[in-house]
Structures are given as structure tokens and as C-alpha cells.
Amino acid sequence: MNIDMIDAAATRIKGHARETPLLSSPFLDEVAGRRVLVKAECLQHTGSFKYRGARAALSALPKGATGVLACSSGNHAQGVALAARELGLAAVILMPSDAPRVKLENTAALGAEVVTYDRATTDRDVLAADMARARGLELIHPFDNPQVIAGQGSVGLEIAAQAHMAPADVLVCCGGGGLTAGIALALEARAPGLRVRPVEPEGFDDTAQSLAAGRIVKNPARAGLCDAILTPAPGKLTFPILHRLCGPGLVVSDAQVLAAMALAQDRLKLVLEPGGAVALAAALFRPDAVQGDTVIAVATGGNVDRDIFIRALHHGVSDAHRPA
Amino acid sequence: MNIDMIDAAATRIKGHARETPLLSSPFLDEVAGRRVLVKAECLQHTGSFKYRGARAALSALPKGATGVLACSSGNHAQGVALAARELGLAAVILMPSDAPRVKLENTAALGAEVVTYDRATTDRDVLAADMARARGLELIHPFDNPQVIAGQGSVGLEIAAQAHMAPADVLVCCGGGGLTAGIALALEARAPGLRVRPVEPEGFDDTAQSLAAGRIVKNPARAGLCDAILTPAPGKLTFPILHRLCGPGLVVSDAQVLAAMALAQDRLKLVLEPGGAVALAAALFRPDAVQGDTVIAVATGGNVDRDIFIRALHHGVSDAHRPA
């Protein structure tokens, strides 16, 4: 992995992925006690950065590839489905049968063949490998794929071009670490004063723990508010990059996540999903753990459960001002 | 009013006002039966296009001006307050005492002096003129001010630069007509194939009626869902421009507005206020009244009442498919 791969991916997805704006509000600055710049990646096609990595990976497939297979409960699924449709490739998406219905429906509506499996009884990775082999499909891993990481890195190139600033922390919502690693590689080359820091929900801080331990540490797999980023461990490809380039991980509470969603709605007119709001939550409610006069938070959307979104809107910011 | 004034206003506000993106979603295209491009002006500072006109007008004041006065129940108030603070001018905002508390608070938080009056007993225009004279303030009308119209016209310059397309309708949320007139003047010069059409809520279609009659027709002043755009009549400055340049007005129902808000939240991750969603509502639910393979809808935000926003989220799209 290097900056040339990220530049090449950015060139391939140019004119397809949106360049998303860096937004701010004096009201958010006041909450955080410093200037907060929000990279509004929820405005990307399909509502999340996953489209970038998907389009980058699918456009790098060898000639003759006819279709792809991806495992995802939502955002990667839709990114791959849309990119495949645009590039004339078949897409099969393996989704857990208990995934939110709206994510299953959206993925199918984008032209993918959705195959569901039972999380409790099926080894997803074995099923995926078997099916990919049997049907001649290229498996597109959601984060441990160099071209996916390179595509997500285009977010970092945009940040470097948009933010002309003193050294600062760049907070990134972190599941398997594809987005975090991609941004870190891009900023290492183009804005080395910006330090990338992964942000995770309380109880699911495998990346923070892995960075502290210097080796991959796993979380038990279980459900939580921030479903989009509850990967049990950083990836084999992503962890060495995170370990080499990223600052200590940050952890936020569910109350802080809901308050960040409410503030993004009110002050930025943006709809974030819980997993896409953790970085903004850290920027707003963990001021002592962040360095610099300005902080950048990457925010993403995806499919937001309506009841959770309404719960967030009713959530008071005051509830979030306790240590995570 | 001419294109040179709009170019000059755009130059003055460049680097201050945000260039807002043109967004789309295949799911919205499916509802509308054609491609829908949404000019996301809710991402402007203070959440609405009003900041553009305010910054343009305040930056054109004669040297020696020390302060401004504006009458507004919300969005113009906040646009003027922010622009005044940035330019080192005092701002007094006259707001009705029954304006939403959040709009009063936000305006004051942006540094303005908020003066409230009783809508039932006070002639606002007389009060404003008296106070402006007594305190030496420049009155900034929300739409019948050439520099305000020129500032809003910068939205049209951006649309002309962003949308390279065949002749199409550009649907604009219309209150007093400052935004609509500004965009129409900009597109007349820079993208004459794009026809501007004002959109209003059912029962408040003074502009549509005025365009049909060829003279200013008034609505009775009363409250409604789309409070931001319930001006009783188009302006003396704006109407001649609308009459010369704009296509027939469109009218949407409250059900269509709420459904458009829900779809913007779900498909674009954008928070719109009711008055800022009427153009998108027309694009989605009045397909027979719109021409062309593509339609552009300008969407704005402002302060969204939480209960109305939640009502919109619960609102079914199916309810919107009846004639307005």
C-alpha cells in the first residue's frame, strides 16, 4: 500500500464518487471548545464512504471479470451493488437474514442479488469463499482489500486539499479500519501535520486496544447501537498501517453518539447513522483527549433506523457531557 | 438588476458563502420518473440561502455604515446576524414575539440584538423604519433589495456551472421571490435553457396567481406548515423579474412537503424545513406539471421544528401521491 495506489484509485473514481464538503457551524465549535470541521461523507452516493472503496476495487478488476461477491450487513453491500451496476458487473451480496429490512431492500433495489444466511449457524467466510469459487465471482472484502483501502484513501486526499491548517487531529469512525488506514496513508504523504485517530464505541474498542497493545486484540462479536462499525478486530492489512501511522484510539458512549447525531441534524442539516457519528461525538464531547485548535471529524450516513434517529433527536446534549 | 450585479455579489461573497453541492439519488429518480438534481442549499451557513443575500447586501453598504436592521421570523434574521458579525457591523433584528424560540435564540447567539414585537398590534414596517432612522441603521429587506436578490442569484451561477444539461425546469421554493428572481436572472445569462419555476404551498400561492394574472395578487396573511415562505405577496422588485423570466408556478400539498422531507432525510441525508422542501416535493410528486428528462430542485434548511421533522419521518410517501 502506498500513495501511488491511492492517487490511482482517486483517478479511477473521479467523476463517479462525489467530492464531499468540509462543513462547520459556530454552534458546534462552541460545544467542542475548538473549531470543528466535519467531512460530510454521508453525502456520498449510497450515503457512505463505502461507495468509494467499492468503485475503486471494482474498477481495478482484471479484464474478463464478470461479477463480484461481498459480505456486508449494509453500507459495503450498497456501495458494491451500485458500483457493480455502473460497471456492468453482476453483484451477489451475502447479508445476514436479520439485517435491517431497509438495507436488504436497498441493496436489492440497486440491482444486486441478495443471498441471506443465518448468523448463528453459518460460517460466513466459508460460505462466501465457496460461492465465489462456484460462480466465478471476485470476492470484495469490506476492508482487507488494497484497492478498497486505496479508494477510501481518496477521502484523505480531499481533506488534504480542503483543509489548509496547523497540525491537528483527524478523527475517523473505525470498524475494520479501511477508511482509517486509507486516510492515514493519504495524509502521511499530503498533509503530514494531520494525525489520524480511530474512534470507536464504548465496549467495541478493538482498534484502540490493538493500537495500545501493538498487536491485534479482538472484541467479542455482539450487537450494539453503532452496528455499521462493530467489526470484532482490525484487519490483517489495515492494522499494520494503523499501527504505523495513527494516534491513540478514542472511545465514545452511546449517549455521546446520539447527541452528536442530534447536533449534526440541527446544526449541519446532516443525517448520520450511529456508527457514522462516533468521530463527531469524540470531537464534541472528548475535548481533553483531542489536540490542536481545530479538529476534523469524518462523518458518514448509511441507512439510519428511523426509531434510533428519532431517539437521537429527543436526546439532550447535556446527557453527553459525562466521561465515556 | 442585471447579471453584472450578480457576478459582483458572487465575487464579494466568495470564500464566505459555501458553494453547495448538487445531489441526487436513484431512489428519488424512481419516485419522480425522471432524474432529480437537488441543490443542497440547506448546507449553506445558518442552514439556508439567506446568508448569501445578507452577506452580499452588507458587503455592499456605503463606507461609514455602522449597523443594520432586518425584520424576519428566522432565516433572514440569522443570515443577517452572521454576516453582520463577520463584517463588524451591529445587527438589530425585529422578530415577532411568537416566533419559534429556537429561531430567537439562534439569532441572538449569532450576536444580533433581537427586538420582539406583537404581530397583532404592531405595524412591523412602521416600527422598522422608525427604529432604523432613530438608531442610524440600514434597513435590509429580506427580498425587495437589489443586493439581496443579487446575492441569492449566486445560487443560479452555481447551478449553471454544475449542471451541464438539456433544457429543464429549475424549481425554486418561493416566498417573496428573492431567491427565485436571483436564480432566474443568473440563468437567463448563463444557462438560458433552464426555466425557473416558483413553488409554493397550497393556499399560499400568491406568486403562482400573480404570474397567471400578470399583476401582484395577495394571499391573506395566516400561519401554515411552510412558515419560512408564507409571504403574502411577491415583492415590488422581485415580481417584474419573475413575470419576465419564470414559468408557471407550481403548488404542493402539506402531505407532499412532509413526504419530500422524509425522502430527503432517507435518500440524501439532508434535513430540510417544510418551506425548504416545497421545490423537491413538486419535483417528486407533480411529475405531470414538470418538463424535461431532468429537473433541478433547490432545497433549503433553516431551523426545523423537531416535532414537525418527526411528523415528516413518520409520513408515508404513498400519502403524497394525490393531486395537490
Domain parsing of chain A, residue ranges = 3-49+146-320, 50-139
Percentage above 70 pLDDT, chain B = 98
> CB distance A270–B271 less than 8 Å?
yes
Residues of B in contact with A272 (CB under 8 A): 269
The number of C-alpha atoms within 13 Å of A139 and in the hemisphere containing its C-beta is 17
Confidence of residue B74 (pLDDT cuts 50, 70, 90): confident
Who wins on pLDDT, B124 or A150? A150
Three-class DSSP category at B146: helix
Using an 8 Å CB-CB cutoff, list chain B residues near A299: none
Residue of A nearest to B264 (CA): A271
pLDDT tens digit string along B247-268?
999 999 999 999 999 999 999 9
Task: Please tell me whether residue A31 adopts helix, strand or coil conformation.
Answer: helix
Q: Name the residue among A21, A106, A301 with its Cβ closest to that of B21.
A: A21
**Given this model, what pLDDT does residue A315 score?**
79
pLDDT, chain B, mean: 94
CB B46 within 8 A of CB B79: yes
Q: Between these two residues, A220 and B136, which has the higher pLDDT value? A: B136
* B 16-55 → A contacts, CB under 8 A: 18, 20-21, 23, 26-27, 40, 42-43, 47
Region B198-223: mean pLDDT is 94
Q: Which pLDDT score, from 0 to 100, does residue A167 have?
A: 86
Say yes or no to pLDDT of B320 above 80: no
B161 part of contact set with chain A, CB < 8 Å: no
Q: Are B254 and B206 in contact (CB under 8 A)?
A: no
Amino acid at A191: A
Determine contact, residues A302/A195, Cβ cutoff 8 Å: no
Euclidean distance between CA atoms A31 and B96, whole angstroms: 28
User: Would the pLDDT of B323 be above 60?
Assistant: no
Q: Examine the pLDDT at B310 and tell me if it is beyond 70.
A: yes
Do A49 and A41 form a contact (C-beta atoms < 8 A)? yes
- Judged on CB neighbours under 10 Å (0-12, 13-18, 19+), A277 is buried
The number of beta carbons lying within 10 Å of the beta carbon of residue A317 is 17
Do B119 and B111 touch, CB atoms closer than 8 A? no
pLDDT score of A21? 96
| CATH number attached to the domain at B50-139 | 3.40.50.1100
Longest distance between any two alpha carbons in chain B, whole Å: 56
Confidence of residue B317 (pLDDT cuts 50, 70, 90): low
**Could you tell me if A70 and A76 are in contact, meaning their C-beta atoms sit under 8 angstroms apart?**
yes
Spatial contact of B36 and B29, defined as CB atoms under 8 Å apart: yes
**Taking 90 as the threshold, does the pLDDT of residue B120 lie above it?**
no
Q: So what's the pLDDT on residue A317?
A: 65
Low-confidence ranges of chain A (pLDDT < 50): 323-324
B113 bridge partner residues: B92
Buried b (16+ CB within 10 A) or exposed e, B95-120: bbeebbeebbebbeebebebeebeee
**Between A and B, how many residue pairs show a Cβ–Cβ distance under 8 A?**
65
CB contact under 8 A, B269 and A265: no
Contacts of B204 (CB under 8 A, 6+ apart): B219, B224, B226, B229, B230
Q: What is the topology classification, in CATH, of domain B3-49+146-320?
A: Rossmann fold (3.40.50)
Other CB atoms within a 10 A radius of the CB of residue B209 amount to 18
Hey, CA dihedral for B185, B191, B197, B199, is it positive or negative? negative
Please give the grid coordinates belonging to residue A249: 484510539
Q: Taking CB atoms and an 8 Å cutoff, what residues of chain A touch B79?
A: none
The Cα of B42 is separated from the nearest Cα of chain A by a number of Å equal to 6
The pTM is what? Answer: 0.94
Q: Report the pLDDT value the prediction gives residue A197, as an integer from 0 to 100.
A: 98
Mean pLDDT, to the nearest integer, of B270-282?
A: 97
Q: ipTM value, please give it.
A: 0.93
Helix (H) or strand (E) run with residue A251 in it: strand A250-252
Residue B268 touches chain A, beta carbons under 8 Å = yes
**For residue range B182-196, what is the model confidence (pLDDT) as tens digits?**
999 999 999 999 999
Test B269 with A23 for CB contact under 8 angstroms: no
Give me the residue from B110, B269, B306 closest to A301, CB to CB: B269
CB contact under 8 A, A21 and B23: no
Mapped onto helix, strand or coil, the DSSP state of residue A38 is strand
Domain B3-49+146-320 identical in fold to domain B50-139: yes
Residue B8 has pLDDT above 50, yes or no: yes
In angstroms, the Cα distances linking B197 to B145, B156, B250 are 21, 13, 7
Query: With left for phi above 0 and alpha for psi between -120 and 50, is residue A10 left, alpha or beta?
Result: alpha
Rounded alpha-carbon distances, angstroms, from residue B56 to A20, A169, B12, B148 = 25, 34, 7, 6
> CA distances (Å), B178 to each of A17, A190, A315, B98, B185, in order?
33, 42, 36, 24, 11
In chain B the first and final C-alpha atoms are separated, in Å, by 34
Measured between beta carbons, which residues in chain A are less than 8 angstroms from residue B50?
none
Sheet holding B194-201, edge to edge: B22-23, B35-40, B294-299, B168-173, B194-201, B250-252
Residues of B numbered 275-314 whose beta carbons fall under 8 angstroms of chain A's beta carbons: which are they? Answer: 301, 304, 306, 309-310, 313-314
| Angle between helical axes of A75-87 and A50-58 (0-180°, round to 10) | 40
Question: Is residue B274 within 8 angstroms of chain A, CB to CB?
Answer: no
Tell me how far apart the alpha carbons of residues B68 and A228 are, in angstroms, rounded to a whole number. 48
